[in-house]
A and B are shown apart, each in its own frame.
Chain A
């Protein structure tokens, strides 16, 4: 066999292993990516979390309770909305998976609720979480209020400013918000600080991590809890159209909404999967947060994955107009999906995202989050090359939180 054929066979084996549920493996690896690179103090806590997942996550009792809360409290299933005006504009058939309609306004609630219920079962006394855009913080605050656990949210001081509405929401929901002034003062520093908090009380504190990143078993746990997006989307599109879409597109920060949506379609080889990272203001060092497009393997926040770091292994400052994508790492499962070619990752710039946001708002009457707007920008580009085809966009969250940023960019006159 030639080396290319070897590579193809290996990639197919890895995808098959992923689809069979053999990945992550017992060492928490998705192929080469993942693992548990944490201080020894956290290892027993991760072991307990793993045991809790094994014991409860797929048990009917837990699943029934989660499903009931997702339905009655969080408002699932969320709609799959046709977007005919965008479709006409782009020359494609466009469907929107409306996570903005889920309680608290983003997909983050699926994970926060699931983990809060799990934490309660595991006997946690206190929850810590990090947040970038504030959506995971708000979701965690709400879920903790619902299950009756105190909640502390770490948030970079830069993000506290640009996502100010969410800081107030978290406080109203009873959470304590701690602004982080160390490090890069965005999501990455918030995770560092949440980890430090957790190391100080790994027995009674539960760390409610908000994306498909971090040490094993978080990338797996978050994916399982977000997979509801993909399951619903697949059955909804079949119901509406009688066939699968040609493409499914989502924005990728840490990668939780994307992994949840993609999982519904991973086995459908004819469905193209496209992840859109934050291209920021360009391809230079520090100008973007496009980890898979510009990064190399490394270890950050407990996981071996693709990472934006320099030749000395120092993690790079990143930039994105959207706080939720402004992160130098990405979940290990995405690194695997990129390396085996099952998902293609592209970037959308700040300007493209702003433009797409305006277009969606003015044509469909939906104001998406700035994170989400990157998926729209990617979808628009895809549609330009795939006339008449059908695409589902993961509308991961609503944009109300972004008003402080958006007010600096008045809407351009009707992009119709």
Chain B
């Protein structure tokens, strides 16, 4: 199975087991570089997919929590190469497919060809690039697809029907439905608008839909899980790690159906 298929299958299997798939985000090397592998292993053990954030100096789609985490990780010396090396060296490999979430510039700096090869060798399954809209994503998509890796597309509540259809066709692994018009870490919102939106996204997508941005509570997980197969938890998990909480316990409590 290639990377895209592994992601898709992990989400589908969770659904078959009657559970909402959990896609968990951590910033690589935060709170500490030394605990990255064990944090990742723990998070993977209770998640269906793990997003590993590649820190960037100018995270324009992120709220204060992930800004803080990115800044600290960069200060500590985290680089894309280090992240790939660490993930590649994990034995056993993380028990859930790993997707790197990165702004475009660090990926450009490595070069898409080298990136795709190294990511696949490290066992990474795909990428999410929040500042790379569909229209600009052809070149990276092609390089990643050459290694069987997913490029996950994002849509938001203001995405037009035509763009939604195009993203639903192009996305690999899953389609990321941003639940808010805004940055990470805010309030996921809810209510009738959210369910109508999620249904729109789900009916346009050829891959499973996972929704997130600002998901913090078990109630939100089960609310979103009623409409789409997966939920993304980011800033709230990063904050739990900052507090020194056990990430596995934190995530398990978010998904009482599991």
Contact = CB atoms under 8 A, between A and B. Distances in A.
B is bound to A: yes
Interface of A: 27, 35-41, 43-45, 182-183, 188, 192, 195-196, 199-203, 297-302, 307, 309, 311-315
Interface string B60-96: 1111100100010010000111000000000000000
A305 to B, nearest CB: 11
A299 to B, nearest CB: 5
A336 to B, nearest CB: 18
Given A44-B160, A192-B58, A302 B131 contact: yes
29 contacts: A27-B135, A35-B136, A36-B133, A37-B131, A39-B60, A39-B61, A39-B130, A39-B131, A40-B178, A41-B178, A43-B133, A43-B135, A43-B159, A188-B58, A192-B58, A196-B62, A200-B181, A201-B182, A203-B181, A299-B108, A299-B131, A300-B105, A301-B60, A309-B105, A312-B81, A312-B109, A313-B108, A313-B109, A315-B57
B181 A202 contact: yes
A309 B60 contact: no
Given A196-B183, A200-B183, A298 B109 contact: yes
A313 B107 contact: yes
Given A200-B186, A309-B105, 8 more contacts: A37-B131, A39-B60, A39-B130, A39-B131, A43-B163, A199-B182, A200-B180, A301-B60
B74 A314 contact: yes
B57 A39 contact: no
A208 B182 CA distance: 18
A37 B105 CA distance: 10
Given A35-B136, A199-B61, A201-B181, A309 B131 contact: no
A213 to B, nearest CB: 13
Interface in B182-231: 182-183, 186
Contacts of A183: 57-58, 67, 71
Contacts of A313: 56, 80, 105-110
Interface in B123-139: 130-136
B32 to A, nearest CB: 20
B158 interface: yes
Q: Choose among A39, A202, A301, A312 the residue with the greatest number of B CB atoms under 10 Å from its CB.
A: A312
Contacts of B132: 37
Nearest to A297: B108
Contacts of A307: 105
Given A39-B133, A43-B163, A196-B183, A315 B178 contact: no
A298 B56 CA distance: 13
B103 to A, nearest CB: 8
B155 interface: yes
A27 B167 CA distance: 18
Q: Choose among B107, B136, B159 the residue with the greatest number of A CB atoms under 10 Å from its CB.
A: B136
B136 A39 contact: no
Nearest to B160: A44
A312 B186 CA distance: 29
B154 A314 contact: no
* B interface residue count range (under 10 / 10 to 19 / 20 to 34 / 35 or more): 35 or more
B142 interface: no
A315 B57 CA distance: 6
Which 8 pairs of residues, A with B, have the shortest CB-CB distance? Answer: A313-B109, A313-B106, A200-B182, A313-B105, A41-B156, A315-B57, A195-B60, A39-B61
B67 A203 contact: no
Contact of A312 (B61, B106, B159): B106
Given A183-B57, A299-B131, A312 B183 contact: no
B248 interface: no
A40 B154 contact: yes
B14 to A, nearest CB: 25
A285 B115 CA distance: 26
Nearest to B62: A196
Given A201-B181, A299-B131, A300-B105, A36 B136 contact: yes
A22 to B, nearest CB: 19
Contacts of A37: 104, 131-133, 136
B189 to A, nearest CB: 12
A136 B111 CA distance: 36
A299 B108 CA distance: 8
Contacts of B157: 41
Contacts of A36: 133, 135-136
Contact of B133 (A38, A196, A300): A38
A38 B132 CA distance: 6
A195 B58 CA distance: 11
Contacts of B63: 196
A312 B80 CA distance: 7
Q: Choose among A299, A302, A311 the residue with the greatest number of B CB atoms under 10 Å from its CB.
A: A299
A129 B167 CA distance: 30
A289 B248 CA distance: 45
B157 to A, nearest CB: 8
Contacts of A298: 105, 108-109
Contacts of B58: 183, 188, 192, 300-301, 315
A47 to B, nearest CB: 8
A40 B107 CA distance: 18
A45 to B, nearest CB: 8
A39 B159 contact: no
A258 to B, nearest CB: 23
A203 B182 CA distance: 12
B130 A44 contact: no
A315 to B, nearest CB: 4
Contacts of B57: 183, 314-315
A100 B57 CA distance: 34
A201 B182 CA distance: 7
